[in-house]
Amino acid sequence: MKVNLTPLLNRFLFKKKEPIKDTITIVKILLVINIVKLRDKKACIKEKDRDKMSVPRTEYLQRRQKLMEKIGNGTAIFRSASLATMHNDVEHIFRQDSDFFYLTGFNEPEAVAVLAPHHQEHRFILFVQPKDPQKETWTGYRIGVEAAKIEYGADAAYPIAELEEKLFQYLAKADRIYYHFGRDRDFDRTIIGFWQKSIAMYPKNGYAATAIEDTNFILHPHRQVKSAAEIEMMRKATAISAQAHNRAREYAQPGHYEYQVQAEIEHIFRQQGAIGPAYPSIVASGANACILHYIENDRQMEENDLLLIDAGCACGYYNGDITRTFPVSGKFTPEQKAIYEIVLAAQLEAIAAVKPGNPYNQFHETAVRVLVAGLIDLGLLVGDIDEIIKEEKYKPFYMHKTGHWLGLDVHDAGGYKNRPDSWQILQPGHILTVEPGIYIAPDLKPAEGQPEVPQKWRGIGIRIEDDLLVTQDGHEILTAAVPKAIADLEH
Ligand SMILES: [Mn+2]
C-alpha cells in the first residue's frame, strides 16, 4: 500500500494546513493520534509500576495530615530535588528529595509542595513542570499539572513557572513559615522575600508570619518511625542487598580484582529490580579495608587477604546497608581470626541491646566495651578498660559510631538525641544499622601511652554490619541471610 504522507507531515511537522484529500491520509492521521494516545497510556503504566516500589497513595495523605496537625496556622513549603550535572549536558539520574517524596510520592524535579492547613480551599498545593511533548521526547515523561493534581491528591496544582505569582496567597495568612534552608539557594531567597513581604504587611493586616521554622524538626520524627508499608519496602531492599553479598562471597577469590566483585554485587541489584547501589559500593581488600570510605575498588586480591564489602541497594526509595568481611582464600590467618572474633562478639552483644525502651547509644557503648576488652586481651591496648573508654584511647582502632538510622536516606533522617544529655529511646518501627569494626591501619599511631602495634596485626580491617528493625519485643535482623559466623566463611 502506497500512501502519500506529505500532507500529513506538512500538517504535523511544518504546521502547513493543506487540505487533506485522500481517505488513506485521514486513516493515517487517526492512526498517529492513536499511537500518541497509546504512548500516553504506556507512560501511565510505567507510572503505576513505579508505585509498586513505594507505599500506597493513601499513606502520603496520612503523612500530610499528620504534619498539618502540627503546623496549625502555619504554611510548610518543600522544594523538590534538582537535576545534578554529571558532565557537560549530561545529568545524573534524578532522585527525589526524601522529605518531598515522603510527603507526596511525586518524583519529578522542578516541583514545590505546599501545606497550608489554614487555607480556606487549598490545603495541599503542588507546583510542577507542565506537559511538554517535545521536551518529554528527549528527557522523559512528565505527569503535568492536571494529572498531578488528580494522581497525587492535591487541592490545587500550578505550573512551576507560576510559583512567584501564586505562592504568596498560601503564605499571606500564615502565622509561621516552615521551610528547610540550604537545598536551593535561589528558592531560599524567594522564601525570605515572601517572609519580608508578610512582615511588611503586618501594620496594615494585623498579622504576619512571625518566624521561619525548620521543617526537619516537625517532619523527621515522623520519618524515623516506619509504617508497615515502609517496612515491606525495607525488606525488599535488604533482601536484594543480602543476595548480592552472598553472590560476592561465592565469586571472590585471589587473583580477582575488587571491581569485579563490585560488578557481581551491582549486577544482582539491577537484575533483581533495585535502582542500583544506595551509596558507592565499598569493596576493600587487604589494608584498603582500613580506609572507611574506600571506593576505588581497583586492587587485585591476593592469597590470605580479607575482603571487606560494604554495599546495599536502593530499592524504590528505600535502602539496604550491609557490611561483611571474609577471607578471599577461604581461611582466616590466626591474627585475622582473633580480630574477627572480637568484632563479631561486639556486634552480637550490640544487637542484643537493640530493643524498645533502650536509649539509642546503649548498643554503641556495648560494642565499644567488647571491642576494647578484646584489644586488651590481645595486648593491643594496655590499661584499665574504663579509663581507655573514658579517654577514648581505642579511637585509633575504632573511630566511628556503631550505627545510624536507615530508610529513605542511608543515614536516615531524625536525631539521635532529644537534648544534649538525653538520647532517643528505641521504639518499634525504628530501623537502624549495627556495625562495629576494628581497623589496624599499616601506619596506625597508638594513643598516648599505648603500645606500638606489632607488624603482624597491621593491615587488618574488619567491620560487620546488619540492618535491624526494632519490634514490640526486641528486634528483627533484616539482613540475617548473609552469614557471618567463622565456620560459614571458611571453606
Ligand atoms: Mn552503614
403-444 pLDDT tens trace: 999 999 999 999 999 888 899 999 999 999 999 999 999 999
Query: 467: CA distance to ligand 1 center in Å?
Result: 8
Residue 34 has pLDDT above 80, yes or no: no
Residue 384 annotated among the catalytic residues of the structure: no
Q: How confident is the model over 218-259, as pLDDT tens digits?
A: 999 999 999 999 999 999 999 999 999 999 999 999 999 999
At residue 52, the pLDDT reads: 61
Helices 57-71 and 215-224 meet at what angle, rounded to 10? Answer: 140
At residue 1, the pLDDT reads: 39
Whole-number Å distance between alpha carbons of 143 and 151: 9
Q: Quick one: 55-222 is in which CATH superfamily?
A: Creatinase/prolidase N-terminal domain (3.40.350.10)
Query: Of the residues 394, 463, 467, 475, which is catalytic?
Result: 463
Which H helix or E strand runs over 406? Answer: none
Query: Of the residues 310, 409, 412, 467, which is catalytic?
Result: 310
Q: Quick one: 225-489 is in which CATH superfamily?
A: Creatinase/methionine aminopeptidase superfamily (3.90.230.10)
Query: 433: CA distance to ligand 1 center in Å?
Result: 6
| CATH 3.90.230.10 domain extents, the chain | 225-489
Q: How confident is the model over 375-412, as pLDDT tens digits?
A: 999 999 999 999 999 999 999 999 999 999 999 999 99
Residue 31 has pLDDT above 70, yes or no: no
Q: How confident is the model over 441-464, as pLDDT tens digits?
A: 999 999 999 999 999 999 999 999
Q: How many CB atoms lie within 10 A of CB 103?
A: 24
Residue 383 Cα distances to 17, 339, 375, 393, angstroms: 92, 19, 11, 10
At residue 172, the pLDDT reads: 87
Q: How confident is the model over 71-123, as pLDDT tens digits?
A: 999 999 999 999 999 999 899 999 999 999 999 999 999 999 999 999 999 99
| CATH 3.40.350.10 domain extents, the chain | 55-222
Residue 373 has pLDDT above 90, yes or no: yes
Question: What percentage of the chain exceeds 90 in pLDDT?
Answer: 84
Which H helix or E strand runs over 466? Answer: strand 466-471
Identify the bridge partners of residue 326 per DSSP, sorted by sequence position. Answer: 307
- Helix ranges (H only) for 15-56 are 23-52
Nearest-CA neighbor of 51 among 129, 104, 123, 115? 104
Burial 260-289 (b: 16+ CB within 10 A, else e): bbbbbbbebbeeeebbebbbebbbbbbbbb
Q: How many CB atoms lie within 10 A of CB 367?
A: 27
Whole-number Å distance between alpha carbons of 401 and 419: 19
pLDDT band at 197 (very low <50, low <70, confident <90, very high): very high
At residue 321, the pLDDT reads: 98
Query: 432: CA distance to ligand 1 center in Å?
Result: 9
Residue 53 has pLDDT above 70, yes or no: no
pTM of this structure = 0.88
pLDDT band at 30 (very low <50, low <70, confident <90, very high): low
Residue 488 annotated among the catalytic residues of the structure: no
Query: 114: CA distance to ligand 1 center in Å?
Result: 33
What integer is the mean pLDDT of 358-374?
A: 98
**Residue at grid coordinates 535482623:** 477
Residue 465 annotated among the catalytic residues of the structure: yes
Residue 298 annotated among the catalytic residues of the structure: no
At residue 40, the pLDDT reads: 41
Instruction: Let me know the angle formed at the C-alpha of 309 by 305 and 315, rounded to the nearest 5 degrees.
Output: 160
Residue 8 has pLDDT above 50, yes or no: no
Question: Contacts from 452-457 at CB under 8 Å and sequence distance 24+?
Answer: 453/380, 456/335, 457/335, 457/339, 457/378, 457/380
Residue 44 has pLDDT above 60, yes or no: no
Q: How confident is the model over 165-176, as pLDDT tens digits?
A: 999 999 989 999
At residue 50, the pLDDT reads: 52
